Amino acid sequence: MFYSIKGILIHIELNVAVIECGGVGFLCRTTMNTQKALPPVGQEAKLYTHLNVREDALELFGFATQAELNCFKLLTNISGVGPKAGLAILSVLTPEQVAVAAATGDSKAFTRANGVGPKLGQRIVLEMKDKVKSMQAADPGVMQMPAGVLSAAGNAEAAVNALTVLGYSASEASGAVAKLDSSLSVEELIRQALKSFGSAR
């Protein structure tokens, strides 16, 4: 319903940012990473938004980047991960770190977030990996995650695999990563690929 909101940032507190637009103050639930990216109160800000509709409430969630918004939607589609847990995860991990953790099976990374225990961390990894497996069955061109320590040559493959975890097709991920320097770290390759996806829209 709401794609984004742009206006004056009039209030900020833990996991909340209020943006005034057209005389109306919109309260947006946010992550700590988004709050770090916001300008000082009184200046113009823009957030990409998601409206969560419940029986007893309407909640607007706001994110500094489309990548963070997309990652939030992906996380909250996993059984047991509600909006609160999604915000907690994206407050301690960037979308790039979520992709790397899911692709490498690092469930402990998710348990750094408040309210995410070992079982939920493992479920997040399994469900995200299941998405990749279904993509691999449909498209054999999806690259496999290299085992062991990643070499510079394997960074591109790892980045493509992580991007598919975030919901991009193998062809989209491969095309974006192919334009980048494969000697970059996996996380940096993912970050730049996500940036290129955002600018292409």
Q: What is the pLDDT of residues 39-86, one digit of tens each?
A: 999 999 999 999 988 888 899 999 999 889 988 998 999 989 999 999
| Residue 21 within any structural domain of the chain | yes
> pLDDT higher for 2 or 192?
192
| Residue 94 within any structural domain of the chain | yes
Residue finishing a domain among 88, 106, 135: 135
| Residue 16 within any structural domain of the chain | yes
Checking 47-55 for CB contacts under 8 A at 24+ apart, the result is: 47/4, 47/5, 47/6, 47/17, 47/19, 48/3, 48/4, 49/2, 49/3, 49/4, 49/5, 50/2, 51/1, 51/2, 52/83
Residue finishing a domain among 100, 135, 170: 135
> pLDDT higher for 25 or 156?
25
Predicted pLDDT at 148: 35
pTM: predicted TM-score of the whole model, two decimal places: 0.74
> pLDDT higher for 107 or 139?
107
| Residue 140 within any structural domain of the chain | no
Are both 78 and 113 inside the same structural domain? yes
Boundaries of domain holding 32: 4-63
Cα–Cα distances (Å) from 4 to 22, 60, 138, 170, in that order, read 14, 10, 33, 28
| Residue 27 within any structural domain of the chain | yes
CATH number at residue 113: 1.10.150.20
CATH number at residue 12: 2.40.50.140
Measured in whole angstroms, how far is the alpha carbon of residue 102 from the centre of its chain?
Answer: 11
| Residue 9 within any structural domain of the chain | yes
Are both 71 and 114 inside the same structural domain? yes
| Residue 145 within any structural domain of the chain | no
Residue finishing a domain among 63, 83, 109: 63
Are both 38 and 96 inside the same structural domain? no
| Residue 107 within any structural domain of the chain | yes
**Total count of domains within the chain:** 3
pLDDT of residue 142 exceeding 50, the answer is: no
